[in-house]
Amino acid sequence: MKVKRFFAADMRQAMKLVRDELGADASIIANRRVAGGVELTAALDYEAPRLTAPTPCLDAELKKTQERIVAARAELEVGEMASHDQPLVNRQLFGDSMRHAARQGSVEARDLLDRLIQEPVEPAAPAAASRPAAERSPAAAAVEDASLSAMRAELAGLREMLESQLGGLAWGQLNQHKPKQAGLWRRLTQMGLPAEVSQDLLRQVSDVSDPRQAWRMLLAYLAHRVPVLREEPLDAGGVIALVGPTGAGKTTTLGKLAARYVLKHGSQHVALVTMDTYRIGAHEQLRTLGRILNVPVKVVDEQQDLNDVLADFAGKRLVLIDTAGLQANDPYLRGQLDTLASQGRRVRNLLVLPATSQHRVMKAAYHTYKACGLSGCILTKVDEAATLGESLGLAMEQGLPVAYLADGQRIPDDISRAVGHQLVSRAVSMAGNDAPADQTMADVFAGMMNSQRAS
């Protein structure tokens, strides 16, 4: 028998390691939560052990359990006797033999029975186990809490393992009974689309038998569902603020938009504003850009708030605002978002999202920055991303229109307006030809089950 331990970030990855090394016939004989993930102990050619001799601790626990069972049965029998108008007699003093003697006419047994019936019945003392939680000692409470935590962790690990197994079964059944639909599932997953979005799209072509026609229809539905801004924000003018996490490319994107506007309308109608007083040198970066484009730049700080700065630039057709990228729990970020939200429709906020991020990371950024009121988003670093489906999936799930696509560092060349069918075409070309493996698809189905359970 071969036994080995496996460590991974979650149960699905651990199960994959077990399958890859020991094969599908391996048995999981133990699992537990550890720092940084889970630990599985797996064995090949494993036979379940036979029952071993009980340990002294186990004997004591079994004895206590048996005593509780006997006591419970005695209480039930007493209750049954009371319900049938029978005398409440202590069975320890008046057992079966004495009862039989009384029925046979024994005078002594009958006298004893009469005395026991006349004896007042005292309520039983409450068991120690039924004492309220406040009377328990801190040590006992700590042990109980630790046991509950360990039990919850073990149940969570078992649930993840079960979801992984069920995901593999669901994918296997779909691949066997509906291979054409399974092939479409693979292609959508290859594009990076979230499972829920793929499932909704596949419902639209469930009656189409030809895979090629179904694929063309899927892409058409996808192009129609991706929300985009119909009017270019630069042409509409006004005040535009770029918000987003650290490293998303807000300042570079602002430079591209400013240069794009200057080339089309001239430098006299545009101004730049920065609210980033957090990063060292952030002001100088924007001032350098302003000198190159010959446009004015102002800083929002303690001396001038946003209202004052916008009042100074009231005669400009376009004002672009750069903001600081901070952690979600940073109090300065909350103040910055409140300031932008207080402007109402006067300021249009565009969320800058790097396409290199995972779907859940982008989703978390959306929920952080939606407090200021988002009008759309700009997808950056598309040239560095492996897929585009995660970004498009977020836009569809949250109804967040895509305004621009940035795919390089060149100012102002590497930015373009977002158009639905062009976004889908770009996503297909980025997907490549390597279809996801069966294990990847099983993980997708397991993730769907997890999401359904959470919702």
246: number of Cβ within 10 Å: 11
The predicted pLDDT at position 52 comes to: 45
Residue 378, pLDDT above cutoff 90: yes
The predicted pLDDT at position 319 comes to: 92
396-421 pLDDT tens trace: 989 999 999 998 888 888 899 988 89
Nearest of 309, 245, 247, 258 to residue 286 by alpha carbon: 258
The predicted pLDDT at position 128 comes to: 44
The predicted pLDDT at position 272 comes to: 92
The predicted pLDDT at position 324 comes to: 85
Residue 377, pLDDT above cutoff 70: yes
Residue 380, pLDDT above cutoff 80: yes
Residue 350, pLDDT above cutoff 90: yes
| Residue bearing the bigger pLDDT, 58 or 406 | 406
pTM comes to 0.64
Burial letters 411-442, b for 16+ CB under 10 A, else e: bbebbebbebeebbebbbebbeeeebeebebb
Residue 139, pLDDT above cutoff 80: no
75-124 pLDDT tens trace: 555 554 544 444 444 544 455 565 666 666 666 666 666 665 565 544 44
Lookup: tokens for 366: 């959306």
Indicate the range of 40-54, 135-149, 308-322, 391-405 predicted with least confidence.
Answer: 40-54
